[in-house]
Structure 1
Amino acid sequence: MRVIAATFVEAVAQLRIHRVRVMLSLVGVAVAVAALTASVAMGDIVRQTSIESMEQSSGRPATFGFSAYSLEGDPIDADALVEEAEAIAERYDIRYMSPVTYLGGSVQLGDVRTDAQVMGVGVDYQAMHRVEVTDGRWFVESDAERLAPPVVVNQYVMDMLGFASAAQHPTIALPDGRTAVVVGVIDSPMYQGWPYLWALPDTAAAISGADPAYAQPTIEMWVPEESADAVQTMVTRDLQGAFPDAQVDSYRQDYAAYFDEAGDPTAFVQQILLGISGVVLLLGALSLVNIAVITVRHRVRELGIRRAFGASLSRVFVGVMLESVVGTVVAGVVGIMVVVLAYRLLLVEQVIPLGLPGDLPAFPVWAAIVGLAVATAVGAIAGIIPAVVAVRSKVIDAIRF
């Protein structure tokens, strides 16, 4: 242990003596490690953004859609279908279940009547599809009993209504004479450029003016992936048993169902980023090796004297290599700190408010670990060549040098 500590102290001392050369050689390593760390972090960001976008659209793994259609042409009672789905969810301890109905229609927004996309959804839809309400709130169970039904809208609708916040209680007139109250606003890039309204199933049919009998919902269920196939089979069987004269279809709709076949869609982007950072890292390592060899050549006399006073070959080898390792670790830490700072000041505070995922961590810790590990490995590999040069010098020749 004492020998290791002494070797480390010698390495640090040599770095201080040759600090100008070391700094010149380590600038490239610091830049390379920063590029590698940033590439790994950006790969995580791209992946997280893609996953959250897909989950908003199709649900989290594993989300199934169940639909039932009458074979005789008459519509299935939507309320009966939802009640049966709720009973099945309770029977099999399925925590997240939501009916989903896509309804078009003409909606009165202030003084303007316009076409809009109206969706009838349940309370659990928010968790299943990562719906982030930026102003106000999402639906709660007690909303079904309210005389003035609640509705959640996108920012486009709020602008048409002429209100700045859901706290002002904007209202929407329904065709049946009731008045819906806006309780929440969703400001997401996914729902821009067109009026979107979300409501509980009965309210959604009233908003769009659709006949509730023909507003057939799809039942979505979010279940654990490890039991996905079994749950799909059981729910399909029970729905078919409850509606024997209907055609019951079931399908898995979340993105993970396609990953198994097509692979990770973000892998290509990550490989490009890692490839670029790898080239930068290689150039930095070559620069380090070049300057390290030159430095050792100038230290031939010093190394010969150390050998003459009893320094072993292994001590000289490890000492020279450790100089490179310590230098690259310091450079790696500096590079990682620069990336973390840039990530915090530029990305988190400036870009995320424009639409990056809300679950993005302060910084992917494993990206910093990878950067530090690579910096250490580069230092060890780059230090081998000058260390071999140092131990191959003969004592007598080194003293004469």
Structure 2
Amino acid sequence: MRVVAATLVEALAQLRIHRVRVLLSLVGVAVAVAALTASVAMGDVVRQVSVESMEQSSGRPATFGFTVYSTTGESPSTDELVVEAEAIAERYDIRYMSPVMWLGGAVDLAGARTDAQVMGVGADYQAMHRLALAEGRWLVDSDAERLAPVVVVNRTVMDLLGVASVDQHPTITLPDGSTAVVVGVVEGAMYEGYPYVFGLPATALTIVGDEAGAFASPTIEMWVPEESAAAVEAMVARDLRGAFVGTQVDAYRQDYAAYFDPANDPTALMQQVLLGISGVVLLLGALSLVNIAVITVRHRVRELGIRRAFGASLSRVFVGVMLESVVGTVVAGVVGIMLVVLAYRLLLVDRVVPIGVTADLPPFPVAAAVVGLCVATAVGAIAGIIPALVAVRSKVIDAIRF
């Protein structure tokens, strides 16, 4: 242990003596390690954005859809199906359950009939589909008891209504002459460019009226833990068949994780390009480090010869010279990682998250930092072998000659 500590002290001393030369050669290593770490971190961010986009449309893992219909007679009503689904969710301690009705239809917006996507959903739909709000609030179960029904719309509907904020209490005229109050505005790429109106199932059916037709029967969505997904699917389907005898129950897992292929990772190409660039920079940095180290060793022939004369072993000289490169690259790697961590904090945490690009920014990947340090250490060791071999060939007589 004492020998190792002494060798490290010698390596640090030599780095201080030749700090200008070493600093210039290690700039490339620091940049390469920073690029290597940043590529992994950015890959995680891009992957999270992609995942959140898929979860908006299909739900979080694991989300199941259950449809109940009769092939011979009348299918269960929306109220009957929702009541039974709530009972099943309570029975199996399923925290998130929502009926989903894609109704379509035309909506009266500021006196004009406009085609819109009217959706009847439950209060849990927002959490299940990562639905973000630009302002206002989402639907709650108690809204069903209000005299004036409430809806949540997208920005397109707000523009058609000619209002800028829910604080202006905008309303939508229903077919029966009553009005629904807008209490929230959703945002996201999925809900841009076409009118979207969300309401509790009863409200959505009232908005669409006779146009609902066959689409009035809801799909029951449930979000359950992935580890128990298969068991929950079987139990819920069994209970629905028992509650509605003579009907057909279709159960299917609809979230992206059920069909997403990791081999088609959208971030793979970007990471490969960044890793390739990092590798080239690392190679150039290593070559520069080898060149500087060899020149430095050539100027230390007298010192190395004297150390050999006083009993320094070949292994001690070899390890000492090689550690100079290792210590230098490790320091450069730490500096590069610190720069990436700082940029991650200032550019992503403080700027990207507030504008809603991603709801759950992944933590800084510690694994990327560890990989960066390991690569820096390996580069230092490889780059130090050549000057170390030159050093061990120094002879005692060379100390007198120089």
* TM bin (shorter chain): over 0.9
Q: Which residue of 1 aligns with 2:101?
A: 101
Offset at residue 112 of structure 1 (A): 3.5
- Residue 344 (structure 1) aligns with: 345
In structure 2, distance between residues paired with 1:317 and 1:356: 52
1:291 Cα deviation (Å)? Answer: 2.4
Q: Name the structure 2 match of 1:279.
A: 280
- 1:255-334 alignment runs, 5 A limit: 255-259=256-260, 264=265, 266-334=267-335
Which amino acid in structure 2 is aligned with residue 309 of structure 1? F
CA distance in 2, matches of 1:240, 1:265: 40
Whether contact under 8 Å (1:106, 1:116) holds in the other structure is: yes
Is the contact between residue 22 and residue 327 of structure 1 (CA under 8 Å) also seen in structure 2? yes
Q: CA RMSD in A?
A: 2.3
Task: Give the structure 1 partner of residue 68 of structure 2.
Answer: 68
TM-score normalized by structure 2?
A: 0.92
Q: Secondary structure at the match of 1:134?
A: strand
- How do 1:334-373 and structure 2 match up within 5 A? 334-352=335-353, 355-361=356-362, 363-373=364-374
Q: Counterparts of 1:171-182 in structure 2 under 5 Å?
A: 171-182=171-182
Aligned-residue offset at 1:53: 1.0
User: Taking structure 1 as reference, are residues 231 and 260 closer, same or farther at Cα in structure 2, changes over 3 Å only?
Assistant: farther
> How far off is 1:137 after superposition?
1.5
2:226 maps to 1:225: yes
**What residue number does 2:194 align with?**
194
Q: Report if aligned partners of 1:43, 1:273 keep a CA contact under 8 Å in 2.
A: no
Q: Distance in 1 between matches of 2:114 and 2:247?
A: 35
Q: Is the 8 A contact 2:45 2:362 kept in 1?
A: no
CA distance in 2, matches of 1:8, 1:111: 81
Which residue is 1:7 aligned to?
7
- Look up the SS of the partner of 1:181 in the other structure: strand
| 1:375 alignment partner in structure 2 | 376
TM-score normalised per structure 1: 0.92
Which digits, 9 at most, give the CA deviation of each residue in 1:225-273, with x for residues without a partner? 1111111111111112222222211111111111368665544543443
SS at match of 1:104: coil
Alignment of 1:20-39 (within 5 A): 20-39=20-39
Which residue in 2 is equivalent to 1:400? 401
- How far apart are 1:191 and its partner, in Å? 1.2
Change (3 A) 1:261 1:395: closer
Quote the residue 1:48 is aligned against: 48
Query: Following TM superposition, by how much is the alpha carbon of 1:159 offset from its aligned partner in structure 2, in angstroms?
Result: 2.2
2:147 aligned with 1:137: no
Distance 2:399 2:251 in 1: 80
The 3-state SS of whatever aligns with 2:113 is strand
The 3 A distance-change label for structure 1 pair 58 and 290 is same
Partner Cα separation in structure 1 for residue 109 and residue 97 of structure 2: 30
Looking at structure 2, the residues matched to 170 and 364 of structure 1 have their Cα atoms a distance apart, in angstroms, of 45
Aligned residue for 2:193, secondary structure, equals coil
Give the direction of change, closer, same or farther, for the CA distance of 1:69–1:90 in structure 2 (3 Å limit).
same
Q: Secondary structure at the match of 1:311?
A: coil
Structure 1: gaps of 5 or more residues = none
